[in-house]
Structure 1
Amino acid sequence: GDQSGRGMRKRPRQNPGPACQQCRLRKLRCDRQTPCNGCLDAGVECNVDPTPPQRGPKKGHLKALRSRIGRPSRPPGTQRESTCFLHGGSPLEHQADTWDRKRDQLYFDRIHAFVPAIHHRRYLQRSRVALPTPSHRCLQYAMWTMASAMSSQFHHLRDSLYRGTLDLLHALDDARPTTAGTAATTDNDDEASLLAQAQAWILVAVYEFVQLPSSFRRAWASVGRAIRLVQLLRLSEMDAGDDHDAAVLDFTTPYNGDTDVDVCIEREERRRTFWVAFCLDRFASALSGLPLTLGELISTRLPCPEPAFQSATSVVMPLLSEIMETTDMDAEPRALSAPSSPWVECIVFCTLWGRALSHQQRSKLEHFHGPVAVAFRERQVRLDELLTSRMRLFQQRYAPGAVKSDPMLLFTNLVAQATVLSLCK
């Protein structure tokens, strides 16, 4: 039995000892002879290295990789540093830049129509610098968060980008101001930073309202952060004291990075940021039943039409108070002659929505003190007349097909219907 067991033992696949260098290079099985049969048949010298190179990664390399993966410096999908470390080159860094550009374009394709506060080319110009400012980085992440939420390609990144946006915004709050630069330069830098932060908080609030409906308190707090920054910048008083000519946006030439044109575009961005916050305040109040934060004592002109904004074209816009004076049929031709746009229509109906919400809140207090007052009936009739007049103007300006095809007009129509329901309560 012992002899048969020995006979059944399998012979090793190869003889002991290292393979020769030639067989290693040609990926052949070496018979470990000196010289081996492979080298004899090929007529080459057979050399054997008694200390072949060690296989596998170098000592400590895997540990370094694991520690780097465990501590990402940027949210997933934007880790330029780690991709360069792993691959030792720039192809994946270029791919990360491509993803950033795709998210930028997704934002302007799908989100900008509802939050039209940012100038496309000016944003791209600031984004392509080697070291964007921390406040602009916050705005970028907020825009990418919204773009990812509306994209099947980047949808899985929305939560990590959202958390990254909050981390960057809170880091700005914790940062201390530096003493470098003159006082004027520091003030200008602070205002630009606060504007970008306000825009970022607006986008964060919109994301939380839409994507995190169970976190209403968080969204409400984000709206408050944005509105306080808007108030701190006094964006509701931008055109106070300006005459009609001074309010003209000096967009006489196409945008090419010129400083004067850039300043005018920034002023329009500030106007638009205020009006986005104004509409968002009405939306948040409708959801919460709490009083409005931003009133109608506004000396900032309405935003110019979107094509004029993006192409840097001169447009004179009226004040909200001038538009809201239209309350009867005799005044309608004047209202029709005023410059308008889908967003201006939205602002007008958001204003009426806010008035209806305030009317409800005041009526509750009046009912608490006694029977329905005469002031309540007068406000109700005045709001109903103004709403009817504005809806008639809206229908004259925009055909049903145009309303269905334009997202801002469609949203405006929903706001108008919500205002009607508010008055019926």
Structure 2
Amino acid sequence: MTTKFASPLPGDESARADAATFESRTYAKVARRLIPFLMICYLGAYLDRVNVGFAKLQMLNDLRFSETVYGLGAGIFFLGYFLFEVPSNVILHKVGARNWLARIMLTWAVISAGFAFVSTPTSFYVLRFLLGVAEAGFAPGVILYMTYWFPSQRRAKALSMFFMAIPLAGIVGGPLSGYILHTFHGAAGLAGWKWLFLIEALPSLLLGVAILFYLDNGIANAKWLTDAEKALLERNVAGDNAQKTAHGSVGAFIADRRLWLLAAIYFCVVLGQYGLTFWLPTLIRKAGVADPLLVGVFTAVPYVCAIVALPLIGMSADRHRERRLHLAVPMVVAAAGFAALPLIGNVGAALVCLSIAAAGILSSSSQFWSLPTAMLGGMSAAAGIAAVNCFANLAGFFSPAIVGWLNDLTGKSTAGLIFISSAIVLGAVLVFFVPAKTVNR
């Protein structure tokens, strides 16, 4: 007996095609509305966080700070970040993204401008700590905010586009910081590094106000969406959340070994990321570039390479529904770029290695967030994303502090670069302890 299967009716196929087209158009609309604006906000955040790497070119001589003082000050930002990040994300989940993200940006803009008045190591440490407190919750808050709009199968591309703000900050911030140091030094009796902090705080101040008028707390508040578009988005997000873990108690949350594994992986990623951002200007100057303006221009090159790699890897991860290799491979590539730097003796070759390192480590940073956002939902997502991020961002403290200490101890940057490279490889190995079935969707 032969069983005959009914072929889909032409009308059914047409309806499915129309539904798929409508869904694609809706998510494209959401992406156009949210991602460019959030990228610009994160660009301002990242610029204010790492412009100390450029200020270092003049500030250390003016204030007679050692490499160790700089490394500790650069890293102490992350102690404040660590202490306040989880509470910040929980508050955001309860009160809404618009007011809380605006509060974060306005506070850190004022504190960032205050660096122009640093005169002692103590004042440097205090302001760096307060900057971490002020900014805590912005990046994990945006990651959480993305889960309100995009289901897991669409999130890697969205997150990779958002994290393009990091290389954009390098592309824009490098030449801009170099230009400010070169041009404004001595204007109105202020050193170039003082002008750097004052001028680069302005975008964050303006964007903090703009958030209050532009950003919506969620799908239901979005007046720019039709009822049909809202229904589609809410249905997809609800279906995605139904597959995720929600912890019933604080104890169960803390005891979840997956969170600690994820935190360890991201710790290694962040260690490499800030090894790049805090020391990139110094590495380029040691390669033979003296003019601060040219240092700024050359620092843009690795970030241009990263901005090409980020969306390509994100699209590939979503298309293949594969997360682990798309994280581990860029990490290994980044480690190779860092490891090769001590062998380099000229600017061109150094830029190649730095470009490989930047493309690998910044792609890893965006791809990592496909893991926890695929595993956690609801308040567990709010607390889990923040907990993983705040623990891992302690690497932002250890990375510049240890590298600065190793540089002072050995008189060269080789030991610090080997340390960074080894940590990234360890993180890549840990990726494969995450069960594929929990994240490959």
TM-score bracket for this pair, using the shorter chain length:
under 0.3
Q: Which has the higher contact order (CA 8 A, sep 6+)?
A: 2
TM-score normalised per structure 2 = 0.23
* TM-score after normalising by structure 1: 0.23
The structure richer in helix per residue is: 2
Larger radius of gyration: 1
